[in-house]
Amino acid sequence: VIWRGIRESMWANIVCTVVEAAGLLFIIAVGIKYWGGVNYLETPGDTAGGGIGSGITLALVLQGAVLMFFSFIGFEDILNVSEEVKEPKKDIPFGLIGAMILATVIYMAVAITAVSVVPWKELAASKTPLMEVAHRAAPWFTGIDSVYVGITIFAIGNTALLNYLMGSRLLYGMSRQGLMPAALGRLNAKRGTPQLAIIVLFGIVSLLILSGGVKPLAESTVLLLLAVFTLVNISLIILKRRESEPFDGFDIPILVPVLGALVCATLIVVRVQAAITSPDREASVAPSIALVIFVASYGLYRILKPKEVVMDEETD
C-alpha cells in the first residue's frame, strides 16, 4: 500500500481508523449508563476513598503523565507529509490540533466508562481491561471477543502503516537536505514514492521483529521522543526570538514552547528515575539504550551534516 502511494495509504488509514473508533465508541455507548456511580477522584493511595488528598503524590501524577504522553505518540508524524498536502500552512495545524482534541475527548470518555463499569483495582489487574468492560456492560454480545480481536488487528495494522509511511517520508526528507545518503531520496518513476527509503525501512523493521523482545527499545523510544520534543520546543523559542526569522503561517505565544520544554524535561527526569529504581531489568536499561542511540545519532549528524541545509526543494 505504501509503495503504491499516499492516496492509497490514506484510504487504508481511514478504514482502519473508522474500525478502531467504532470499537471505542461502542464501549462508551454501552457503558455510559454507568457514569456517575463511582468516586472518580479516588486514587490508589487513598485508603479512605474520599478523593484527592494525602494518598495522591506528585510522582503518581507524573507517572500518569508519561503514560498519557505515550498514548499521544504519533500525532507529530502528520508533519512528515506536509509537502504532500495541498494547503499545508492551513491544513496541517487544523488537522494536528483537531485530531488531538478529538482523540482526547474519546480517551477521556473511554477512561470514565471503564472505571464506571469495572472497579479500577480489577482493571489494573486485568490483562484485557477493555474486554472486561465490554463483557460487564454488554453481556448480551456473545461474539464480542472475536470482534475485539479483529479490531485489535486493525489497530496494530493501522499503527504499523502510519509509522512506516511517516518513517519512509522522514528518510526521504532528510536525504533531500543532505542529512542522509542521497540515494534514499530517489522516487519511483511511476508512483512517485521514495522506493529505496521504503525498502531500507522494511529491512530495519524486519530485523527488529526477528530480534525478539523489543520492550527495552520501546522504553528507550519514549525517552528519545521526550528528548526530541524538548529540543523542538527549545528550537521554537530560539526561532521566535530571532528577529531575522521570517514568519509565514501558523503562530503561537512563546509561553507554549516554554511550557512544552519544561514539561518534557520533567517527564524525562521522572522516566529515568522510574527506570533506575524498577526491578524489571529490561526497563532499567532503557535510559542507557536511549543515551547510546542519542550520542550515536548526534555523531552521525556531525559526520553527515551538510555545509548548507536546503530549505526550498525543487521538484525533480
Model confidence band, residue 45 (pLDDT cutoffs 50, 70, 90): low
75 plus 152 within the same structural domain: yes
114 plus 174 within the same structural domain: yes
Which of 173, 196, 212 marks a domain boundary?
212
Torsion of CA 248, 253, 254, 255, to 10 degrees: -160
140 plus 59 within the same structural domain: yes
Residue 47 lies in a domain: yes
106 plus 241 within the same structural domain: no
Check pLDDT > 50 for residue 54: no
204 plus 113 within the same structural domain: yes
Residue 37 lies in a domain: yes
262 plus 193 within the same structural domain: no
Residue 311 lies in a domain: no
Residue 100 neighbours by CB distance under 10 Å: 14
**Chain-centre distance for alpha carbon 238:** 25
206 plus 220 within the same structural domain: no
Which of 194, 212, 230 marks a domain boundary?
212
Q: Which residue has the higher pLDDT, 63 or 270?
A: 270
163 plus 302 within the same structural domain: no
Query: For 16, how many CA atoms within 13 A lie in the half-sphere containing its CB?
Result: 17
- Nearest C-alpha neighbor of 87 from the set 245, 248, 229: 248
* Model pLDDT for residues 256-271, shown as the tens digit of each residue: 999 999 988 988 888 8
Model confidence band, residue 44 (pLDDT cutoffs 50, 70, 90): low
Query: Average per-residue pLDDT in the chain?
Result: 79
Write the CA distances from 137 to 19, 20, 38, 223, integer angstroms: 20, 19, 15, 37
Number of domain units in the chain:
2
- For residues 252 and 256, what is the distance between their CA atoms, to the nearest angstrom? 7
What angle is formed at CA 257 by the lines to CA 254 and CA 259, rounded to 5 degrees?
105
121 plus 165 within the same structural domain: yes
162 plus 296 within the same structural domain: no
Bin 193: left if φ > 0, else alpha if -120 < ψ < 50, else beta: beta
Residue ranges making up the domain that contains 188: 1-212
24 plus 107 within the same structural domain: yes
* Model pLDDT for residues 9-43, shown as the tens digit of each residue: 888 888 888 998 899 999 999 999 999 888 877 76
- For residues 55 and 47, what is the distance between their CA atoms, to the nearest angstrom? 7
The residue-averaged pLDDT of 50-61 equals: 55
Which of 195, 212, 229 marks a domain boundary?
212
115 plus 205 within the same structural domain: yes
